[in-house]
């Protein structure tokens, strides 16, 4: 399983009145991890959308909050593909405090591939390797 690591630093604007990262920001960090995972595998989201007319629509998201992240913490986002086929991909994320090694959150997002018409489409075979799919003929 491929794991891509991306770091973000908690900005003051991402915290709530208690000085703890507001819960919705973890989903934003998951997106950062997902985009950088694809980029590291040679696929830019922008190219997928512009050239292939394919969009990744989030159909399910979950996040388990384990330990509070706070202003100025450096967060390591470990992103991997948990499951995939030609019409769907599930990403898994571990968000870890880079200094202490404490796991602050764990989550998943499930996506389907859509065309510009918002109808499900198969991911073009030339991108299957990004998600760990087998590109042999007859394998989907």
- Give this prediction's pTM: 0.92
- Per the structure, how many domains does the chain have? 1
> Is the residue at 139 inside a domain?
no
Please give the mean pLDDT across all residues of the chain: 94
- Does a structural domain hold residue 104? yes
Residue 10 is assigned to a structural domain of this protein: yes
Residue 22 lies in a domain: yes
- Kindly state whether residue 136 falls inside one of the protein's structural domains: no
The answer to whether 16 and 70 are in contact (CB under 8 A) is no
Q: Are 3 and 80 in contact (CB under 8 A)?
A: yes
- Assess if residue 138 is contained within a domain: no
pLDDT of the residue at 1? 75
**Any domain includes 110:** yes
Write the CATH number for 124: 3.10.129.10
State how far the Cα of 30 lies from the Cα of 109, in Å rounded to an integer. 8
Is 52 an active-site residue?
no
Tell me the average pLDDT across 38-54: 94
Structure tokens at 74: 């450096």
Q: Give the contacts of 105 (CB within 8 A, at least 6 positions apart).
A: 26, 63, 64, 65, 66, 67, 69, 93, 94, 95
Q: Are 9 and 72 spatial neighbours (Cβ–Cβ below 8 Å)?
A: yes
- The answer to whether residues 48 and 8 touch, using CB atoms and an 8 Å cutoff, is no
Distance CA 74, CA 63 (A): 19
Nearest-angstrom CA–CA distance, 18 and 73: 15
d(CA 92, CA 108): 4
137 falls within a domain: no
Domain encompassing residue 95:
3-131
Alpha helices in 1-140 (DSSP H): 24-40, 45-50
Tell me the per-residue pLDDT of 86-122, one tens digit each, with 9 for 90 and over: 999 999 999 999 999 999 999 999 999 999 999 999 9
| Residue of 16, 50, 72, 134 with catalytic role | 16
- pLDDT at 38 > cutoff 90: yes
């Amino acid at each position: 399983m491929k794991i891509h690591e991306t770091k973000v630093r908690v900005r003051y604007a991402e915290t709530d009145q208690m000085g703890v990262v507001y819960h919705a920001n973890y989903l934003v960090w998951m997106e950062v991890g997902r985009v950088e995972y694809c980029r590291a595998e040679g696929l830019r989201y922008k190219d997928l959308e512009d050239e292939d007319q394919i969009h990744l629509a989030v159909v399910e998201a979950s996040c388990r909050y384990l330990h509070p992240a706070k202003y100025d913490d450096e967060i390591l986002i470990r992103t991997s593909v948990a499951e995939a086929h030609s019409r769907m991909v599930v990403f898994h994320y571990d968000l870890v405090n880079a200094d202490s090694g404490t796991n602050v959150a764990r989550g998943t997002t499930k996506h389907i591939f859509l065309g510009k018409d918002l109808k499900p489409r198969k991911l073009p075979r030339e991108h299957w390797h990004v998600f760990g799919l087998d590109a042999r003929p007859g394998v989907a």
